[in-house]
Amino acid sequence: MKLTILGSSSALPTSERYPSAHVLSVYERLYLIDCGEGTQMQLRRNKIRFGKLNHIFISHIHGDHVFGLYGLLSTMNLMGRTSTLSLYAPVRYREILFSHLLDFDIILGFNIDFFPLDSKDPVKILDDKHLTVTSFPLRHRIPSYGFLFREKPRDRNILKEAIEKYNIPAARIPAIKKGGDFVMGSGEIVKNEEITVPGPAPLSYAYCSDTMYFKRLSSFVRNVDLLYHEATFEASLGELARKTGHSTSTDAARSALEAEAGTLIIGHFSSRHKDVKHLVEEARDIFPRTIAAVDGTTYDVGNIDVP
């Protein structure tokens, strides 16, 4: 599981930071989370193929999270896309999106499967071969949703010496890796735990933006390996954060601490913060394993180095 940050700015982009957009790669399947202005240019810069994007998740209907989608869809169409695209977004966005396509005379050569988000509780919205995705409500000025991506348990690893010792046929190995016992020709049963070891632990990633701090959030992302949490403002601007429905660096750190997250990435930085080192320092006072999102950087979810 790898995460590429395409944009880490808030409403006003800067020359170093684009508006919100992330790409999560799981077993070479790509999931785009939010699509701020300039996302398709960032996809090109980071050599991410448009055609491999089959799932797009929109957290809420504010421009810095969605303005890039119209151009991206148009480009996909011009490139001859025919495969269905799954779009997960607040329920009201369906009308907005299709009205835009109609107004600009964009006739797509592919279908969009729209999955509306409108629940006040966590809901599993995707369940595929390798992972599940759960949406959950955030607390912002308008309906906003976070997303939790969890890998499914991986197959066990069969021991090479066990294959040789029990002369296990290749055809039987897949079932054993799934947890099955091995039955020898004599009828003797060799327990799975004697011939396998656990595979790598499944990984998880949560995206929380835009939101202000609220206690219940930690229960939605409990024990997540990597938590991305917006930190629009420095700690001294807490009143402004609450007024605008955003979080400070210390708000994000509190959420990570309460969720017992593995690592915290903060982002969605206000353009007033030219340098965000002090935001990271503020967060680390509460949650030491904190880093700042950097546009164009790819993170290995299970192996993040925190200086």
Q: Do both 126 and 252 map to the same domain?
A: yes
pLDDT (0 to 100) of residue 216: 98
Structural domain ending residue among the three candidates 140, 167, 197:
197
> Is the pLDDT at 147 greater than 90, yes or no?
yes
Can you give the CATH number for the domain in which 45 is found? 3.60.15.10
Residue of 34, 64, 210, 225 with catalytic role: 64
pTM of the model: 0.92
Q: Do both 38 and 92 map to the same domain?
A: yes
Q: Do both 169 and 140 map to the same domain?
A: no
**Rounded to whole angstroms, how far apart are CA atoms 234 and 246?**
11
Helix (H/G/I), strand (E/B), else coil: 55: strand
pLDDT (0 to 100) of residue 227: 99
Q: Do both 52 and 187 map to the same domain?
A: no
274 domain-assigned? yes
Q: Do both 99 and 248 map to the same domain?
A: yes
Mean pLDDT of the chain: 96
54 domain-assigned? yes
Structural domain range at position 214: 2-154+200-300
> Is the pLDDT at 69 greater than 90, yes or no?
yes
Q: Compute the average pLDDT of residues 285-293.
A: 98
**Rounded to whole angstroms, how far apart are CA atoms 301 and 24?**
10
Helix (H/G/I), strand (E/B), else coil: 154: coil
Total domain count, the chain:
2
Q: Do both 26 and 173 map to the same domain?
A: no
128 domain-assigned? yes
Q: How confident is the model at residue 282 (pLDDT cuts 50, 70, 90)?
A: very high
Among 11-25, 55-69, 208-222, 284-298, the least confident range: 11-25
Q: Compute the average pLDDT of residues 247-261.
A: 99
Q: Do both 90 and 162 map to the same domain?
A: no
Q: Do both 257 and 171 map to the same domain?
A: no
Q: How confident is the model at residue 97 (pLDDT cuts 50, 70, 90)?
A: very high
192 domain-assigned? yes
pLDDT (0 to 100) of residue 11: 86
DSSP 177-193: HTT--EE-TTSPEEPHH
305 domain-assigned? no
Q: Are 221 and 261 in contact (CB under 8 A)?
A: yes
**Rounded to whole angstroms, how far apart are CA atoms 56 and 63?**
16
Q: Compute the average pLDDT of residues 16-20.
A: 96
Tokens standing for 193?
């735990």
Of the candidates 260, 264, 282, the residue with the CA atom closest to the CA atom of residue 273: 282
> Is the pLDDT at 232 greater than 90, yes or no?
yes
Among 35-39, 120-124, 151-155, the least confident range: 151-155
Instruction: Please write the tens of the pLDDT for every residue from 165-208.
Output: 999 999 999 999 999 999 998 999 999 999 999 888 999 999 99
307 domain-assigned? no
Question: Is 113 labeled as catalytic in the residue annotation?
Answer: no
306 domain-assigned? no
Q: How confident is the model at residue 159 (pLDDT cuts 50, 70, 90)?
A: very high
Q: Do both 44 and 189 map to the same domain?
A: no
Q: Are strands 123-127 and 112-117 parallel, antiparallel or unpaired?
A: unpaired
Q: Do both 173 and 248 map to the same domain?
A: no
214 domain-assigned? yes
**Rounded to whole angstroms, how far apart are CA atoms 65 and 39?**
10
> Is the pLDDT at 158 greater than 90, yes or no?
yes
**Rounded to whole angstroms, how far apart are CA atoms 123 and 7?**
26
Q: Do both 66 and 180 map to the same domain?
A: no
Q: Do both 243 and 193 map to the same domain?
A: no
pLDDT (0 to 100) of residue 215: 97
> Is the pLDDT at 82 greater than 90, yes or no?
yes
Q: How confident is the model at residue 12 (pLDDT cuts 50, 70, 90)?
A: confident
> Is the pLDDT at 15 greater than 90, yes or no?
no
